[in-house]
């Protein structure tokens, strides 16, 4: 599906970043993008915290501002996700 056919987002990146940081109880955003995941148009953020090697991935619904998920990913999970993201989409 082309981005132009995605539903319009109501929450800006800046607003979604603030929501994601609250959901992860702070940290620093290392990466972020808008994408379609789990049937929703979402802002996806990878958040790092000092002294913790895992990254917290937070998905924020771009239309409602609700947190869809917030989960810690270890380095192996991050590498697998990066590999999957690099595959051509059909």
CB 44 within 8 A of CB 57: yes
Write out pLDDT tens, residues 27-45: 999 999 999 987 889 999 9
Write out pLDDT tens, residues 1-16: 455 555 677 999 999 9
Q: What is the rounded distance in angstroms from the CA atom of residue 42 to the CA atom of residue 34?
A: 6
Rounded alpha-carbon distances, angstroms, from residue 46 to 2, 31, 61, 68: 24, 5, 15, 14
pLDDT for the residue numbered 3:
54
Write out pLDDT tens, residues 72-88: 987 888 788 778 778 77
May I ask the CATH architecture of the domain 3-86? Roll (3.10)
């Amino acid at each position: 599906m082309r981005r132009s056919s995605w539903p319009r987002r109501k929450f800006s990146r800046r607003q979604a970043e603030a929501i994601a940081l609250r959901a992860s109880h702070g940290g620093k955003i290392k990466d972020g993008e808008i994408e379609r995941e789990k049937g929703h148009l979402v802002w996806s953020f990878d958040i790092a915290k000092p002294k913790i090697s895992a990254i917290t991935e937070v998905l924020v619904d771009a239309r409602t501002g609700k947190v869809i998920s917030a989960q810690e990913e270890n380095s192996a999970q991050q590498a697998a996700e990066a590999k999957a993201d690099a595959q051509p989409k059909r």
